[in-house]
A and B are shown apart, each in its own frame.
Chain A
């Protein structure tokens, strides 16, 4: 495998339900992604974007096919090892931020480090430093409810990056944000993806963020139709 390749998905299928109620969300999807890139997965609702993202993140097991992330074949790993892998190598940014409301920002941002066994003091120092980077230096002791949506998403980005993961998974990171805030968040993600040992994969159907992509994979009906480098100023989608 090429050392620059962050992920390689081959002929993945995934269905939900049983018997006649069973529906196939992925019907043989293929995808590759490179380190140092911000890759978008786009497509209409119900096309299988989130299912594909969940499989890449190791939170969902495919019915068939293979998934190699950062050189690890997830389909050959047991669930416990996949959990360890996620903890060490993947950062998550969710659509609804998923910050824990009863924890302050430092505590929220320190969670991945604590899960990785770092002491509380070290984890909170690193979390504070990461909050500085995302522009929330003075808000460490605040609680999520005291922040705007954009600020909460910045905390989520700090949390996703605090343990220096190689892959950052983002699920609709701008859909709950207004245009300007979404723009700022995408700039931040773009900066994160600029590191040569890191990849950012973003699922979105927000066309405003296409301009930030290094690569765009377009999905429809459970398959990846195209997966091409983005051309600045031009949306080169198959269905575009």
Chain B
């Protein structure tokens, strides 16, 4: 009977298109908005994903990774003295102004790495050599900087090109790949000592201390030991820093409400259009369903036919919506904007929501069908 159920569904072209459209838009809206939201959240934690340290030690009042407050250089030694710390290295992170050769200024995110270990170095070098970062006035720029620091009408930046940071020459020795930062500025990596020369002089210049737990200690244990021993500092295991940063944005910005509203709208559009359309599809077929019931179709059989119809259109709508969202994501990835991240949990979650919409629609219809008296077909 299922092939007949599907034919009954597809045969009513207008309703079928409406149903499919509703579920398509619901899937597209929910996926696309969630993916942008997750992408945006991933941008808020890009320092963590680009620098990659198991424990971050920062100023005690820091709440999230994008608001690092300066520390004294001696804090690195204090951290090194704690049992449970295998090694600790300084890190500088700051927003500086890059002056291009045409005189224009562009903001950059300057990251100063420990020159000996290069802990926090970019994971992927696209061109040039990582080790050349140790040469005087050397920087590694990310792929975003290729666009942002490019002077209109000139060829793209390449290894060997120069620009200025705070009146000092910065020579590009490599180009790397990095995750985008929340502020939209490109990453420029250099050594810690070089970064202190690029940055305007302040009393305290150290942004954070990156720590490797010693053997036998988990990041959490090492962080606990640091927190118990040192005042004025706070140690975060990377995972906790990441989630606390995300929750900080949840609590302190309107981003979740804004995206949440759109996602909710997607859900409501899905429920309203699909539920209402499927219900009216059932209402219009009430006499036919009554006839089937009179001919001996059980409530269970009719319910399974309705479920087959609604689930089929649900999977189709989901597939089309997810496909369109993925196409949008591919374009976004090519342009680098807007942020778009499509984790498998989102793919599964949206499928679950679409099936939930379908189940809700089917439930309404099944209740209606259960109440049909087969004798309805004998009334004129």
Residues on A close to B: CB < 8 A?
50, 53-54, 57, 59-60, 80, 83-88, 90, 92, 94-96, 98, 100-103, 107, 111-112, 114-116, 120, 171-172
Task: Please give, as numbers and ranges, the residues of chain A lying within 8 Å of B297 by CB-CB distance.
Answer: 83, 87, 115
Against A, the Cβ 8 Å flags (1 = close, 0 = not) of B338-380 are 0000000000000000000000000000000000011101111
- Whether the Cβ atoms of B291 and A112 lie closer than 8 Å is no
Whole-angstrom distance from the CB of B277 to the nearest CB of chain A?
A: 16
| Chain A residue nearest in CB terms to B12 | A102
- A172–B377 Cα gap in the complex (Å)? 12
Task: Please give, as numbers and ranges, the residues of chain B lying within 8 Å of A85 by CB-CB distance.
Answer: 296
- Whether the Cβ atoms of B7 and A98 lie closer than 8 Å is no
Does B292 make an interface contact (CB < 8 A)?
yes
Which residue, B4, B298, B378, B380, has most C-beta atoms of chain A within 10 A? B378
- Whether the Cβ atoms of B375 and A59 lie closer than 8 Å is yes
- A85–B295 Cα gap in the complex (Å)? 10
- A218–B246 Cα gap in the complex (Å)? 81
Interface residue from B8, B296, B377 paired with A100 (Cβ < 8 Å): B8
Task: Please give, as numbers and ranges, the residues of chain B lying within 8 Å of A100 by CB-CB distance.
Answer: 4, 8, 288, 291
- A82–B333 Cα gap in the complex (Å)? 61
Whole-angstrom distance from the CB of A84 to the nearest CB of chain B?
A: 7
Which residue, A50, A95, A98, has most C-beta atoms of chain B within 10 A? A98
For the complex, count residues of B whose C-beta is within 8 A of A.
27
Q: Answer whether A95 and B380 are a contact pair too, CB < 8 Å, given A100-B8, A102-B11.
A: yes
Residues on B close to A: CB < 8 A?
1, 3-4, 7-8, 10-12, 287-288, 290-298, 301, 373-375, 377-380
- A53–B287 Cα gap in the complex (Å)? 18
Whole-angstrom distance from the CB of B183 to the nearest CB of chain A?
A: 56
- A167–B40 Cα gap in the complex (Å)? 69
| Chain B residue nearest in CB terms to A156 | B291
- Whether the Cβ atoms of B294 and A57 lie closer than 8 Å is yes
Task: Please give, as numbers and ranges, the residues of chain A lying within 8 Å of B378 by CB-CB distance.
Answer: 50, 53-54, 57, 59, 94-95, 171
Task: Please give, as numbers and ranges, the residues of chain A lying within 8 Å of B288 by CB-CB distance.
Answer: 98, 100
Interface residue from B1, B294, B379 paired with A86 (Cβ < 8 Å): B294
| Chain B residue nearest in CB terms to A53 | B378
8 chain-A/chain-B pairs, Cβ below 8 angstroms: A59-B294, A83-B293, A100-B288, A102-B8, A114-B1, A114-B4, A115-B292, A171-B377
Whole-angstrom distance from the CB of A115 to the nearest CB of chain B?
A: 5
Interface residue from A83, A90, A98 paired with B291 (Cβ < 8 Å): A98
- Whether the Cβ atoms of B377 and A94 lie closer than 8 Å is yes
- Whether the Cβ atoms of B294 and A103 lie closer than 8 Å is no
Task: Please give, as numbers and ranges, the residues of chain B lying within 8 Å of A53 by CB-CB distance.
Answer: 378
- Whether the Cβ atoms of A115 and B296 lie closer than 8 Å is yes
| Chain A residue nearest in CB terms to B296 | A87
- Whether the Cβ atoms of B298 and A103 lie closer than 8 Å is no
Task: Please give, as numbers and ranges, the residues of chain B lying within 8 Å of A80 by CB-CB distance.
Answer: 298
- Whether the Cβ atoms of A102 and B374 lie closer than 8 Å is no
Q: Answer whether A115 and B12 are a contact pair too, CB < 8 Å, given A53-B378, A86-B295.
A: no
Whole-angstrom distance from the CB of A138 to the nearest CB of chain B?
A: 21
- A14–B294 Cα gap in the complex (Å)? 19
- A53–B374 Cα gap in the complex (Å)? 12
Known A95-B380, A102-B11, A112-B295; further 12 A-B contacts with Cβ < 8 A: A54-B375, A59-B373, A59-B374, A83-B298, A86-B295, A86-B296, A98-B291, A100-B291, A111-B4, A112-B296, A115-B301, A172-B380
Task: Please give, as numbers and ranges, the residues of chain A lying within 8 Å of B377 by CB-CB distance.
Answer: 59, 92, 94, 98, 171
- Whether the Cβ atoms of A115 and B1 lie closer than 8 Å is yes
| Chain B residue nearest in CB terms to A110 | B4
- A210–B159 Cα gap in the complex (Å)? 101
Q: Answer whether A103 and B11 are a contact pair too, CB < 8 Å, given A95-B380, A114-B4.
A: yes
